[in-house]
Amino acid sequence: MIKLENVSKVYTLEAGSFTALESCSIQMKKGEFVAIMGPSGSGKSTLLQLLGGLDLPTAGTLTIDGVQLNKLNEKGRTLFRREKVGFVFQNYQLLPMMTVAENIALALAANKTSKAETDAIVTRLLSEVNLEGKANSFPAQLSGGQQQRVAIARALAMKPRLILADEPTGNLDRKNGEDVLKLLSRLSREDHITIVMVTHDRHAAAAADRVIMLQDGEVVQSRHEGVELK
Ligand code: ADP
């Protein structure tokens, strides 16, 4: 599903260049739930940006779901993101003046989905993330865990093959964090969505099938945790 071959990312700065990722080769299977860990500055965000088609590698090849991303121009990458990737952020990034239903519906707007179809999709997604009855609530009326589940419903709206989650439990207490991790785990297992999650939290990483450790832009470890949340 995901194949990085000798992928490097070098940022060119006035003061010189900086290598954020150095010849990384990584493979991920369809439906795999992978956690990315590593100290600050080790290249985690850079890796997520490359996987999301938000930036291009400086060298190497990056193939996702049969698409060779390093060959796409910006328009191709925008299309790739819309069709294949859902993004989830630490701070949820919901629009505060819009209801839960409107926040999710916004993700469908680019596709000119009819009102009736949009309503049906929103209802299905809210049930998928266990938030039936919250369609007309505003984000501020929900707990952090509920807001993150709305954000995941929004990420699911376009039926992505890949979800990229940047510290999705970073702002949540243990209980709410576990609900979000269980949901991500279920999406990978049952819907075969590949999940790549950056986290600093060992407990969160243990919910994943595999942990990839980065250090100074290199993969230093890739191991299976084998810990399952009930
Ligand atoms: P992490 O997410 O693990 O903290 P990052 O991928 O954000 O690491 O950053 C890796 C390194 O690349 C850092 O040293 C950072 O300063 C540098 N970096 C990230 N983005 C840029 C950029 N746009 N321009 C220059 N340097 C960058």
By most ligand atoms within 8 Å of CB, the mutation choice from 9, 11, 218 for ligand 1 is: 11
Under DSSP, the state recorded for 69 is G
221 pLDDT more than 90 = no
Question: What is the per-residue pLDDT for 230?
Answer: 36
Question: What is the per-residue pLDDT for 133?
Answer: 94
Sign of the torsion formed by the C-alpha atoms of 158, 45, 27 and 178: negative
Question: Taking residues 145-161, what's their average pLDDT?
Answer: 96
Question: What is the per-residue pLDDT for 222?
Answer: 81
Residues 162-177: tens digit of each pLDDT = 999 999 999 999 999 9
- Ligand 1 atom 27 nearest Cα: 11
Name residue 4's beta-bridge partners. Answer: 26, 62
Domain ranges of the chain: 2-224
Question: What is the per-residue pLDDT for 225?
Answer: 57
CB 52 near ligand 1, within 6 Å: no
Rounded to the nearest angstrom, the gap between the alpha carbon of residue 110 and the centroid of all alpha carbons in its chain is 20
Question: What is the per-residue pLDDT for 110?
Answer: 80
Q: Find out whether 54 and 216 touch, Cβ atoms under 8 Å.
A: no
Domain 2-224, CATH 3.40.50.300 — does that match?
yes
Q: Residue 111: how many CB atoms within 10 A of its CB?
A: 12
CB 78 near ligand 1, within 6 Å: no
CB 44 near ligand 1, within 6 Å: yes
CB 43 near ligand 1, within 6 Å: yes
CB 76 near ligand 1, within 6 Å: no
